[in-house]
């Protein structure tokens, strides 16, 4: 005998019943509409890829212990995609030479990471990815940030609810090598530590950085630097970063975003790091400002070097990837889902007597042609039972079609919310 | 040094560039619109499931050698979903008792089977699944068939292009046990052979059935039965199937479909079998009638017993699952994709001189608010280059905004198809 199998979805995944699906669809539709408005075109890559494209530069978690690897029939090592960036880079690298540049693309797809599930991080998740390939112009960085902000605004979020924190990998590297005087081999470890600024005590951070050999001229100067925003940074005299390309890029990006009217929505964040190894220019994260949920919602940045893993000449790329689960939690915690209508636009047409079955089927066909979404009863049903069913299913309307209506060549439409009925000719 | 990684998608999978994505989206949108019109509500289940839910009843291919199995962090054996039916049955079984019945659900999702790719069968594929749970009424079977037909009609297909072939598992079983006198233990093997009727020579089929112990009273009668359609079947006197529940169901379904005006689109097909072990009543397949591509496009049927694998009381279920790749090939071969517009509705706004950059950015924002999808140039660009880029990208419009236009407070909209230009005030 077979053992009873569980009816629960696997750990770190979820079933989306229609009410939940309606919320996710609202999120996807909002993403799609903003990206389309900016002229990005939708694409899709395969669910699985050669495992090596993630091992190359996705970092030790996403490209390592969280990677779901299996063999296909031909013995190739494949992995379920844990993120989109290596896939879309592969796809673009395949045709890059023959394409008119720049190329603007977006996708909405599902991903899987074999990680420890926690609030806002499921094993399976959905992500929007939007990217510009083939332009090194800072206007591409600005457009990426602009779309990230416009997505938040499209959800109805305000400046008190979210903030875009911007940094540059050149600045982060300089901070490690020039300010902290960390030796080359330990820079990655130091950068990972810097990302914990604000999450752990400064004393603890100092201790851990010292273990890596950090020896700045002045620890206070280091910590005051980490707290600078873009205004403070612009007047930061005598800095080791004066001639750094990263600070020049940052200043242009801040100015351009301000000119576009987005001053309220962004800040410079010198300690902000993105976890993927492939980022090599501007990086950013969108933060939830709620004190209860002060966390990164999503992020993005430049990854000009990534295409190199496919042996082609690297090409410039910048992009961003919001996820469904963090977005959903954000919208819920700020009460931004209140106006989403998750009830189905459906009219229920019960078969009130067996003799009406044929005519009810024809009426259903007519109403559907006229644009109504019609659920037709399957078995003969008394009106009371029919109304009860429509109520339980949350159907907003019932099409009443009894013997009287048939003879009069009409039907009644009952509004389930207020109980009113109106006659319509067939 | 890293080896060069391939830019090709893995075997049996594909990259969908925007033009291809537009075709798939047209297919998905058509599926969604028909299901919504019949009052089905969209849901989604996880990408992965416990491997056992497929091993139970998905058959030796889909639930066996083609299954992609891996272990999660907790050592659970998971599989990428190769089909939706076990997943949605699991999801419904979890809440079945508390739900108002019947329940109508649909989903559009991606699947993976580690099989040998061939024309129309990729390893990764997308499928619509629509199902009714909780009704054993034949009207539910009829509605399933009706939606399958309406989907084909929504794609513009005609009666010369497709046909729905209907059968019943009880009839297939009777044919094996009562007509061919196959012993119980070999019925599954015999049914698999019957599915090859019309694909191999009758002599070869006879030989193979004899090897399984087939011993009908009359081989000619057996073969004449396999060729019957619903009209011939209705007048098939003296049949062994006279009191079979399957034939009663079939006759009611045929009559109801004919009353609904679908006579042109279906036929009885006594040799038609569906590969999944869980089907236990009406089964059907939609066939492409093209002589070059005479194959099953998709199918469905009743699977009242499947919920039993979750230990719950089995509940009635009937459904259908069209796939993206077979649909796409069908539409292409019958020239039904000709009218799909795959070019993006985009206006390209080049920055014609550096001094116009700020104003061009503001114009882009204004036009987007007014509902235009606008791609803004990233770098200064001469008009000739801009038109060339728009042409290569297949953008239908260019927004011309030079110094003259700025001074006049207007912009020109150039139609790339016919070259005409029109002025608009800003």
A260's tokens: 């576009």
Q: What is the DSSP string of A224-268?
A: HHHT--HHHHHT-TT-TTTT-HHHHHHHHHHHHHHHTT-GGGEEE
Q: How confident is the model at residue A237 (pLDDT cuts 50, 70, 90)?
A: low
**pLDDT over 50 (residue A330):** yes
**So what's the pLDDT on residue A118?**
85
Q: Do B348 and A39 touch (CB under 8 A)?
A: yes
Residue A306's alpha-carbon distances to A101, A314, A354, B300, in angstroms, are 17, 7, 67, 45
A22's tokens: 């309606």
Q: Closest Cα to residue B364, out of A147, A103, A38?
A: A38
Q: Do A72 and B375 touch (CB under 8 A)?
A: no
Q: How far is B196 from chain A (nearest CA, A)?
A: 26
Q: How far is A29 from chain B (nearest CA, A)?
A: 13
Task: Say which residue the tokens 């292009």 belong to.
Answer: B161
Within chain B, what is the greatest distance between any pair of CA atoms? Answer: 95
Rounded Cα–Cα distance for residues B372 and B370 (Å):
6
Is A72 within 8 Å of chain B by CB? yes
**pLDDT over 80 (residue B234):** no
Q: How far is B342 from chain A (nearest CA, A)?
A: 11
Q: How far is A36 from chain B (nearest CA, A)?
A: 6
Cross-chain CB nearest to B72 (options A10, A69, A105): A10
**So what's the pLDDT on residue A11?**
93
**pLDDT over 50 (residue B1):** no
**pLDDT over 80 (residue B195):** yes
Q: Which H helix or E strand runs over B423? A: strand B421-425
**pLDDT over 60 (residue B147):** yes
**So what's the pLDDT on residue A23?**
96
Cross-chain CB nearest to A53 (options B5, B95, B112): B5
Q: How confident is the model at residue A357 (pLDDT cuts 50, 70, 90)?
A: very high
Sheet strands (E) in B118-252: 124-133, 162-168
B134: closest chain A residue by CA: A378
In sequence order, the 6+-apart residues with CB closer than 8 A to the CB of A137 are B378, B379
Q: How far is A65 from chain B (nearest CA, A)?
A: 9
Is B50 within 8 Å of chain A by CB? yes
**So what's the pLDDT on residue A63?**
85
**pLDDT over 80 (residue A49):** yes
Rounded Cα–Cα distance for residues B2 and A421 (Å):
72
Is B59 within 8 Å of chain A by CB? no
Rounded Cα–Cα distance for residues B281 and B316 (Å):
10
Q: Identify which has the larger pLDDT, A256 or A120.
A: A256
What count of other Cβ atoms lies within 10 Å of the Cβ of residue B178? 15
Is A418 within 8 Å of chain B by CB? no
B384's tokens: 């000739």
Is B98 within 8 Å of chain A by CB? no
Residue A267's alpha-carbon distances to A262, A270, A323, B222, B260, in angstroms, are 10, 10, 22, 80, 64
Q: How confident is the model at residue B118 (pLDDT cuts 50, 70, 90)?
A: confident
Rounded Cα–Cα distance for residues B126 and A375 (Å):
26
A47's tokens: 């669910």
**So what's the pLDDT on residue B229?**
84
B264's tokens: 């042109």
User: Phi/psi class of residue A105: alpha, beta or left (left: φ > 0; alpha: ψ in -120 to 50)?
Assistant: beta
In sequence order, the 6+-apart residues with CB closer than 8 A to the CB of B246 are B168, B169, B170, B171, B172, B174, B281
Rounded Cα–Cα distance for residues A133 and A98 (Å):
13
**pLDDT over 60 (residue A180):** yes
In this prediction, residues A19-44 reach a mean pLDDT of 97
Is B260 within 8 Å of chain A by CB? yes
Q: How far is A400 from chain B (nearest CA, A)?
A: 16
**So what's the pLDDT on residue A3?**
62
First to last CA, chain A: 55
Q: Do A73 and B114 touch (CB under 8 A)?
A: yes
Q: What is the pLDDT of residues B278-332, one digit of tens each?
A: 888 999 999 999 988 778 999 999 999 888 888 878 899 999 999 999 999 999 9
First to last CA, chain B: 55
**So what's the pLDDT on residue B340?**
86
**So what's the pLDDT on residue A57?**
78
Chain A, 303 to 332: residues with Cβ < 8 Å from chain B are 309-312
**So what's the pLDDT on residue A183?**
93
Cross-chain CB nearest to A2 (options B56, B139, B357): B56
Q: Is the pTM of this model over 0.90?
A: yes
Chain B, 182 to 221: residues with Cβ < 8 Å from chain A are none
B67: closest chain A residue by CA: A72
Q: How far is B94 from chain A (nearest CA, A)?
A: 5
Q: Closest Cα to residue A199, out of A297, A265, A296?
A: A296
Q: Do A135 and B18 touch (CB under 8 A)?
A: no
Q: Do B10 and A112 touch (CB under 8 A)?
A: no
**So what's the pLDDT on residue A127?**
97
What count of other Cβ atoms lies within 10 Å of the Cβ of residue B77? 13
Q: What is the pLDDT of residues B394-406, one digit of tens each?
A: 999 999 999 999 9
Q: Are B129 and B322 in contact (CB under 8 A)?
A: no
Is A181 within 8 Å of chain B by CB? no
Count Cα neighbours of B246 within 13 Å in the Cβ-side half-sphere.
25
In this prediction, residues B103-118 reach a mean pLDDT of 94
Q: Do A18 and B41 touch (CB under 8 A)?
A: yes
Q: Are A414 and A398 in contact (CB under 8 A)?
A: yes
Tell me the sheet residues that pair with B125. Answer: B111
Q: Are A183 and A213 in contact (CB under 8 A)?
A: yes
Burial of B425 (0-12, 13-18, 19+ CB in 10 A): exposed
Q: How far is B150 from chain A (nearest CA, A)?
A: 11
The 3-state DSSP class for residue A167 equals strand
Chain A, 4 to 43: residues with Cβ < 8 Å from chain B are 4-18, 21-22, 24-25, 36-39, 41-43
**So what's the pLDDT on residue B240?**
64
What count of other Cβ atoms lies within 10 Å of the Cβ of residue B73? 14
Q: What strands, in cross-sheet order, belong to the sheet with B296-302? A: B41-42, B103-112, B124-133, B317-321, B296-302, B282-288, B162-168, B266-268
DSSP state of A404: H
Q: How confident is the model at residue A261 (pLDDT cuts 50, 70, 90)?
A: very high
- Give the best residue of B4, B14, B67, B72 to mutate against chain A (max A CB count within 10 A): B72
- Give the best residue of A325, A378, A387 to mutate against chain B (max B CB count within 10 A): A378
**pLDDT over 70 (residue A1):** no
**So what's the pLDDT on residue B79?**
96
Q: Are A81 and A112 in contact (CB under 8 A)?
A: yes
Q: What is the ipTM of this complex?
A: 0.93
Q: Are A204 and A223 in contact (CB under 8 A)?
A: no
What count of other Cβ atoms lies within 10 Å of the Cβ of residue A422? 9
In this prediction, residues A183-210 reach a mean pLDDT of 91
Rounded Cα–Cα distance for residues A286 and A298 (Å):
5
**pLDDT over 80 (residue B277):** no
Q: What is the pLDDT of residues A287-307, one digit of tens each?
A: 999 988 778 999 999 999 888
Q: How far is B276 from chain A (nearest CA, A)?
A: 18
Q: How confident is the model at residue A27 (pLDDT cuts 50, 70, 90)?
A: very high
Q: Do B43 and A94 touch (CB under 8 A)?
A: no
Residue burial B289-324, b: 16+ Cβ < 10 Å; e: rest: eeeebeebbbbbbbbbbbbbbbebebbbbbbbbbbb
Inter-chain Cβ pairs, chain A and chain B, closer than 8 A: 248
Rounded Cα–Cα distance for residues A131 and A106 (Å):
6
> Which chain B residues are Cβ-neighbours of A69 within 8 angstroms?
70
Q: Do A124 and B25 touch (CB under 8 A)?
A: no
Q: Are A112 and A47 in contact (CB under 8 A)?
A: no
Rounded Cα–Cα distance for residues A406 and A412 (Å):
11
Q: How far is A200 from chain B (nearest CA, A)?
A: 28
The 3-state DSSP class for residue B297 equals strand
A310: closest chain B residue by CA: B5
> Which chain A residues are Cβ-neighbours of B74 within 8 angstroms?
11
Q: Do A392 and B100 touch (CB under 8 A)?
A: yes
Q: What is the DSSP string of B37-54?
A: HTT-EE-B--SEEETHHH
Tell me the sheet residues that pair with B317. Answer: B133
Rounded Cα–Cα distance for residues A143 and A256 (Å):
10
**pLDDT over 60 (residue A194):** yes
> Which chain A residues are Cβ-neighbours of B139 within 8 angstroms?
357, 376, 378-379
Rounded Cα–Cα distance for residues B280 and B308 (Å):
13
Q: Are A230 and A250 in contact (CB under 8 A)?
A: yes
The chain-wide mean pLDDT, for chain B, equals 92
**Where do runs of H (alpha helix) occur along A38-126?**
52-57, 85-95
């Amino acid at each position: 005998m077979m053992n009873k199998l569980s009816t629960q979805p696997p750990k770190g995944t979820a079933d989306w019943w229609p009410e939940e699906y309606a919320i996710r669809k609202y999120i996807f539709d909002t993403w799609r509409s903003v990206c389309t408005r900016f002229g990005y075109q939708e694409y899709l890559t395969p669910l699985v890829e050669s495992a090596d494209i993630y091992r190359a530069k996705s970092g030790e978690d996403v490209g390592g212990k969280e990677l779901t690897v299996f063999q296909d029939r031909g013995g190739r090592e494949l992995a379920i995609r844990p993120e989109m960036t290596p896939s879309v880079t592969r796809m673009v690298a395949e045709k890059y030479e023959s394409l008119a540049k720049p190329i603007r693309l977006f996708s909405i797809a599902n991903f899987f990471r074999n990680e420890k599930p926690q609030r806002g991080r499921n094993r399976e998740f959905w992500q929007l990815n939007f990217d510009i390939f083939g332009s090194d112009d800072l206007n591409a960085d600005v457009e990426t940030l602009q779309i990230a902000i416009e997505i938040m605004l499209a959800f109805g979020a305000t400046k008190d609810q979210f903030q875009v924190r911007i940094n540059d990998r050149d600045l982060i590297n300089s901070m490690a090598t020039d300010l902290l005087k960390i030796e080359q081999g330990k820079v990655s470890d130091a950068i990972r530590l810097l990302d914990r600024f604000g999450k752990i005590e400064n004393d603890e951070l100092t201790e851990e950085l010292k273990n890596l050999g950090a020896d700045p001229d002045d620890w206070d100067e280091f910590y005051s630097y980490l707290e600078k925003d873009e205004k403070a940074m612009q007047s930061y005299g005598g800095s080791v970063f004066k001639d750094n390309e990263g600070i020049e890029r940052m200043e242009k990006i801040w100015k351009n975003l301000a000119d576009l009217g987005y001053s309220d929505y962004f800040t410079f964040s010198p300690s902000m790091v993105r976890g993927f190894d492939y980022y090599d220019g501007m990086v950013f994260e969108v933060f939830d400002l709620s004190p209860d949920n002060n966390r990164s919602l999503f992020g993005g940045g430049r990854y000009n070097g990534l295409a190199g893993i496919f042996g082609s000449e690297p090409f410039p790329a910048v992009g961003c990837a919001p996820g469904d689960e963090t977005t959903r939690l954000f919208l819920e915690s700020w009460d931004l889902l209140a106006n989403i209508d998750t009830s189905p636009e459906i009219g229920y047409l019960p078969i009130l007597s067996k003799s009406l079955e044929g005519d009810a089927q024809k009426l259903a066909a007519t109403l559907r042609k006229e644009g109504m979404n019609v659920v037709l009863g399957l078995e003969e049903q008394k009106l009371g039972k029919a109304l009860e069913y429509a109520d339980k299913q949350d159907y907003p309307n019932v099409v009443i079609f009894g013997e009287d209506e048939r003879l009069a060549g009409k039907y009644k439409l009952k509004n389930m919310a207020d109980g009113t009925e109106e006659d319509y000719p067939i």
